[in-house]
Amino acid sequence: MDNNLNNNNNNINFDPMTGQPINNVNFDPMTGLPVNNGNIQQPTGIVNQQEPVVQNTPVQQMNGVVQESVVPKKNNTIFIVIAVLVVVAIVVGILLLGGKKDKANVNNTEINNNQTNNNESNNTENNIETNVGNSSDLVEKEYTGDKQNLYVATVGHVDHGKTTLTSALTKLYGKYVSSDVISSSPEVKKEGVVYNASFLEYESNSNHYSHYDMPSNADIIKSLLSGSVRLDGAILVVSATDGPMAQTREHLRVLKNVGVSKIVVYMSKCDMIDDQDLLNLVEMEIRDLINEYGFDGDNTPVVRGSALKALEGDKNEVENIRKLVNMMDKWLIKNNDNSGKAVASTKLGVEVYVLTKEEGGRHTPFFAGYRPVVSNGSEKESASITLPEGVEMVMPGDYIDMTVTLDKAMTFKKGDYFKFMEGGIITAVGVVNSIIE
C-alpha cells in the first residue's frame, strides 16, 4: 500500500493553499476556486474519511472527495457595503446642506422683507425721509436756507432723556439719527476749549433748527461759557420720575448768564407715572425753579411725554413731540444780543470755566488774589479775582461765579464773553453776568 501511494503521489500536483492533490486544474485568481476541472487522482488504497461538517462553512465535493473551499467573498462583501454606505452618506449630506441653504435664503428674504415693510410703514406714518444720518453728519455747519434759523440745545440732568428726545426730533422733522449715534459725539476744539457735541438739523413749517446735543454736564457748561456754542433758546429736559436735580439748576444758571431769554420744557418719561397729581406736582416744581433763575416760569411751555415711546411709533407720543416743536415755533425768539449797552467797567460779576492741562490750561489750582490778564477780543487788561465766600481755591475743570476787578476800565455789557490769559496761554473762559462798577 505504501508503494502504491508513493507512485501515485509522484503523478499528482498539490494545491499549495489547501494541500489537496490536483491535476491540470486552473484557479480563478479572484475567488481561489478551480475553473478547469482536471482528473483528480486519489491515492489508491486510501479510505475516504469524511471530515466533520462545520456549520456555515462552504464545502465542495469533487469526485468523491469532500474539500473545504477557501472563499474570500466575505471580505469583498464588506468592502462593497462600506462603499455603498459612504455614497449614501455623501448624498444625504448634500441634500441636508442644500436644504439648510435654501431655508437660510428664505429666512433672510423674509427678514429683509419684514424690515422693508416696517421701514415703509414708519416712513408713511411719521412722514420721515428714508435717509438716516450717521456720525459723520454731526459736525457743525452753517444754514443757508430761507427760513429763520434758531440755535437750540437739549440741556438737563444726566440720564433724563436729552439724547432720546433729540433723536425723536430728527426722526419727525429731519434726517433721522439714532440715540446711539448721537451719543458718539465728535470732539470739537473751539475758543480755547475741547468738548464733545453732536450738531443736528431739522425744521418745522416756520423755522429751521440748528441743534446741539452734548453728552456730559461738563461739555454743556464749557461750550456755553466759552461762547463756542451760542444759543437762541434751549429745551430743558426734566425726568418726571426724578424732577429737577442739581444739573438742572446749573444749566438754568448758565443759560441765563449767556443771554438765553426763553426756554421750553419737556417732561420726559411720563409713561412711567400713572398718577396725574404727581405729574402736576413735578410740573409745579419745574415752574418754580425756572422762575428762580429769571425765566418766565408761569408762561413757559411745558410738554409732557415719552420720547422713547415716540421713537417706537406710539401715536400719542409722536403727537406730543409735534406739540413741543409747535411750542418752540411760538415761544423761542432769535437772540440779537440786545442784553444792554456796553459801558466802561472796572468791576464785573462773571462765571468762568477753568481749563484743564489737557485743554492747554493750568496744571495747578489758583487762589483768591489770582491775577490773570482779561481779554475780550479787542482789549486786554490785568485784573484780580475775588472768590465766593467759603471758597479757597479753584481747580482746573471747575466752573464758578466770581468777581473780577480790572486795573483799568474795559468796555463790557452783560452776556459778553472773555478769557483769562496767563503767560500767553488761556487759563479760563467766561461770561459777564453783571456790571458792578
Give the model confidence (pLDDT) of 96-118 as tens digits: 666 555 555 545 544 454 444 44
Q: What is the pLDDT of residue 192?
A: 78
- CA–chain centroid gap for 196, Å, is 17
Give the model confidence (pLDDT) of 342-356 as tens digits: 899 999 999 999 999
- Distance CA(171)–CA(179), nearest Å, equals 11
Give the model confidence (pLDDT) of 294-342 as tens digits: 999 999 999 999 999 999 999 999 999 999 999 999 999 998 766 678 8
pLDDT tier for residue 424 given thresholds of 50, 70 and 90? confident
For the chain, give every residue range classified as CATH 3.40.50.300: 135-331
In DSSP terms, which residues pair with 382 in a beta bridge? Answer: 373
Quote the cell numbers at residue 202: 431739522
The CATH H-level (homologous superfamily) assignment of domain 135-331 is P-loop containing nucleotide triphosphate hydrolases (3.40.50.300)
Helix (H, G, I), strand (E, B) or coil at 404: strand
Question: Does residue 432 register a pLDDT over 80?
Answer: yes
Q: What is the DSSP letter of 407?
A: E
Specify the CATH number of the domain 343-435: 2.40.30.10
Q: What pTM value is reported for the model?
A: 0.68
- Name the nearest CA neighbour of 434 among 409, 414, 419, 408: 414
Q: What is the pLDDT of residue 142?
A: 92
- Distance CA(72)–CA(83), nearest Å, equals 18
Quote the cell numbers at residue 3: 508503494
What is the average per-residue pLDDT within 36-62?
45
Helix (H, G, I), strand (E, B) or coil at 408: strand
- Name the nearest CA neighbour of 208 among 254, 129, 149: 149
- Distance CA(163)–CA(198), nearest Å, equals 10
- Distance CA(319)–CA(300), nearest Å, equals 19
For the chain, give every residue range classified as CATH 2.40.30.10: 343-435
